[in-house]
Homo-oligomer: A and B are copies of this chain.
Amino acid sequence: MHLTTLQQEFVLHFGEMGSRWGINRTVGQIYALLFLSSRPLNAEQITDGLGVSRSNTSMGLKELQAWGLVRLRHMPDDRRDYFTTPEDLWEITRILIAERKKREIDPTLTKLRELEMQGPSGDHYAEARIAELREMIELMTGFYNDMEKLETERLVKMMTLGSKIAGLIDKTGSVLTLGRRKQKDTENGSA
């Protein structure tokens, strides 16, 4: 496996970023390599493409599979395992967000609820702060659940519209018409 300069640089960058993203260098590199590869790769190709040990590759692939970021394929007349990343970037993004939520947020939400279940502690301020935090997380994860359900097409449209989308909502929470407004501007709302 010879890597092009482009692949090299990309792979190294993902390796370096790995620690910030909560994965280790090898995992980042494996993912990067598969991401740029037009065909599935087997563990040995990855191993010598990256210059790491075979066992390290094995562990890295296992972790990527646990994240759902890498898939197993098989080739005719070859019993080795081949790996790919999902093609669709949106699918990848959804997976990433879902997994990070699961690992970084859900455990805390559970813990906060647990603490609230324990009843009065005498520390009113702390209790209030914990409740407030739980509520915010619930609001945000609720919103996430709604967005998660949307088809990609609609999400892309939303993102493209950007802040225009917020113009649709006034501060009371009612939805306003915007653009497409008929002749009479009389029935206006706030902004």
What is the interface of chain A, defined by CB distance below 8 A to chain B? 4-7, 9-10, 13, 17, 20-22, 35-38, 89-90, 93, 103-104, 107-108, 111, 115, 118, 121-123, 125-127, 129-130, 132-133, 136, 139-140, 142-143, 145-147, 149-150, 153-166, 168-169, 171, 173-180
Contact = CB atoms under 8 A, between A and B. Distances in A.
B166 A125 contact: no
B130 A159 contact: no
A19 to B, nearest CB: 8
Provide the main secondary structure of the chain A interface: helix
Chain multiplicity (copies): 2
Given A89-B133, A142-B159, A146-B163, 17 more contacts: A4-B123, A6-B127, A6-B130, A7-B123, A10-B111, A10-B115, A10-B126, A10-B130, A20-B103, A35-B133, A36-B130, A38-B125, A143-B158, A158-B166, A164-B175, A175-B179, A175-B180
